[in-house]
Amino acid sequence: MDINFTRMKKNSYIVVLILFIWFVISFVTNIIGPMLPMIIKSFNLNLTLASFLPFSFFLAYGIMSIPAGIIIEKYGSKISLLIAFTFTLCGSSLFVLFPTYTIVLVSLFTIGLGMAMLQVIILPLMRESGGEKNYAFNQVLAQIVFGTASFLSPFFLSFLIQELANKSINHNFVIAFLSRITPESLPWSSLYFIFTVVFVMMILVIGSTRFPPVRLKEEEKVGTVQNYKELLKQKIVILYFFGIIAYVGTEQGLANWMSVYLNMYHGVDPATTGASVVAYFWGLMSIGCLLGLVIVKLIDSKIMLRLFSIIAIINLAVALCSPTKIAIVAFAFCGFSISIMFSVIFAIALNSVNKHHGAFSGILCTGIFGGALIPLIIGWLGDHIGLNYSICFLFLTLGYILSISFWAKPLIGNQTISIKQLFKVN
């Protein structure tokens, strides 16, 4: 009894630690969007140069997704976590020491390598630590934590910048210290020092923690080179790969450029209202994900993807063609309308092949590179035709996602029930 209680207590601690890692991943990953207009101003960048910032971060995701699976299979969860946080620590420390545009690019790429590794590592670790029976619940909990961090990060950035700008607050030790080490022209860069401290703490905590051995399921294993060759010969695999590129590109295209767009065309302050719009974008996305868990029980996932794609296209059109107040609300609600797309596309894709699911997952995760590619295209086009027109490129990515709902033919469909059955009490 005592042994079981001790094991349960230990596993609960590891689950909490994993949830905190999810919080860190979300906070660090999704702070780029609200920070982008400030970086543009600080370094006097055009849109193309600015777009290389999210490009460098998500390029790392595309590169590291498959190698991360190999690393966890070979070295286990603890060593893999330490390697991942060492990447993030090196990236943030580099910018603290040398705050320049070029170093920001290198820093974001290095942090992105670590973040990509973390996402691959903690999914099977969560299953082992929390148990198979609790895995679905813990996944939803992780989703809530992830969304909460994305929602809070822009508000924290806004608070930090306003506090640093107010010289009268130097009685606060933390803010006073940050104001002394942060270049006055780069107040947003104070976040990198905070990240550095957090990453050091995470390395110390992980180094002193014993993790359970992780036994990867077949769909979590990276597979052999032959598996990848076999899959990449299939047209359907390439089509779903482009589906993930389209989704992540849409998500990051919106998250990274909406604040810049609102600042350029509506005069919205990126440090206050602009940051809030991005925060609500992520917050509404989390709400949509949770609602999607219910909707997917009621209707076919293809129909669900079709409905949300149409709503997303309408939302984006309203955001680009409306006065300030309506545009702000529409941009925020774009988060809700794209919320279910990643999970639905991923599930339909895996259900469309009958083997090598681990290798296929790796190929799909490499499609996260879309978060690098699409914002770069928007930025480059923005310098030539204006951001108000270049952001319309997202209609193409949303159109592709919409097309999936018509041509997808999964071998196994999602099981649905009636509303009566959903709310039936035994």
> According to the 3-state scheme, what is the secondary structure of the chain?
CHHHHHHHHHHHHHHHHHHHHHHHHHHHHCCHHHHHHHHHHHHCCCHHHHHHHHHHHHHHHHHHHHHHHHHHHHHHHHHHHHHHHHHHHHHHHHHHHCCCHHHHHHHHHHHHHHHHHHHHHHHHHHHHHHCHHHHHHHHHHHHHHHHHHHHHHHHHHHHHHHHHHCHHHCCCHHHHHHHHHCCCCCHHHHHHHHHHHHHHHHHHHHHCCCCCCCCCCHHHCCCCHHHHHHHHCCHHHHHHHHHHHHHHHHHHHHHHHHHHHHHHHHCCCHHHHHHHHHHHHHHHHHHHHHHHHHHCCCCCHHHHHHHHHHHHHHHHHHHHHCCHHHHHHHHHHHHHHCCCHHHHHHHHHHCCCCCCHHHHHHHHHHHHHHHHHHHHHHHHHHHHHCHHHHHHHHHHHHHHHHHHHHHCCCCCCCCCCCHHHHCCCC
Is residue 57 a contact partner of residue 111, using CB atoms and an 8 Å limit?
Answer: yes
Residue with structure tokens 């923005």? 382
Side chain identity, residue 157: L
**What is the predicted pLDDT for the residue at 365?**
82
% of the chain residues with pLDDT over 70:
90
Q: Average of pLDDT values for 77-104?
A: 91
Model pLDDT, residue 257:
95
Residue 426's pLDDT band (cuts 50, 70, 90)? very low
Q: Percent of the chain at pLDDT above 90?
A: 45
Task: Assess whether pLDDT exceeds 60 at residue 115.
Answer: yes
* Mean pLDDT, the chain, integer: 86
What pLDDT is recorded for position 419?
56
Where residue 63 falls among pLDDT bands split at 50, 70, 90?
A: confident
Q: For residues 330 and 319, is the Cβ–Cβ distance under 8 A?
A: yes
End-to-end CA distance of the chain: 32
Picking from 248, 283, 189, the residue whose alpha carbon sits closest to that of residue 372 is 248
- pLDDT of res. 6: 46
Structure confidence by residue, pLDDT tens digits, 407-416? 988 876 555 5
More confident residue, 40 or 12: 40
Q: Which residues contact 31 (CB under 8 A, 6 or more apart)?
A: 153, 154, 157, 191
Residue pair 279/154 in contact (Cβ under 8 Å)? The answer is yes
CA-closest candidate to residue 167, choices 155, 188, 184, 192: 184
CA dihedral for 359, 116, 107, 394, sign (positive or negative): positive
Q: Which amino acid is at 98?
A: F
Q: How far apart are CA 282 and CA 333, in angstroms?
A: 9
Q: Is the pLDDT of residue 65 over 80?
A: no
Mean pLDDT, to the nearest integer, of 216-222? 64
- Give the angle 145-361-11 at the CA atoms, nearest 5°: 40
Tokens describing residue 147: 């969304």
Question: Average pLDDT in the 95-104 region?
Answer: 90
Q: Return the minimum-mean-pLDDT range out of 119-123, 242-246, 324-328.
A: 119-123
Highest mean pLDDT: which range of 252-261, 288-297, 341-350, 366-375: 252-261
Report yes or no: 47 and 387 within 8 Å, Cβ to Cβ. Answer: yes
Q: What is the pLDDT of residues 150-176, one digit of tens each?
A: 899 999 998 888 888 776 555 577 888
pLDDT classification of 3: cutoffs 50, 70, 90: very low
Mean pLDDT value of segment 321-329: 95
Taking the C-alpha atoms of residue 34 and residue 259, their distance in angstroms, rounded to an integer, is 6
The first and second tokens of residue 369, run together, are 């590179």
65, 123 contact by CB (below 8 A): no
User: For residue 5, is pLDDT > 50?
Assistant: no
In this prediction, residues 269-274 reach a mean pLDDT of 90
- Per the CB < 8 A criterion, the answer to whether 259 and 268 are in contact is yes
pLDDT of residue 73: 79
Region 195-212: mean pLDDT is 91
Query: What pLDDT score does 219 carry?
Result: 59
Residue of 67 and 268 predicted with greater confidence: 268
The confidence score (pLDDT) of residue 2 equals 47
User: Does 1 score more than 50 pLDDT?
Assistant: no
pLDDT digits (tens, 9 = 90+) for 335-374: 999 998 988 898 888 888 887 777 788 888 888 889 989 9
- Tell me what pLDDT residue 91 has: 93
The span from the CA of 342 to the CA of 251, in Å, is 10
Q: Evaluate if residue 102 carries a pLDDT over 80.
A: yes
Question: What's residue 220's pLDDT?
Answer: 62
Full-model pTM:
0.86
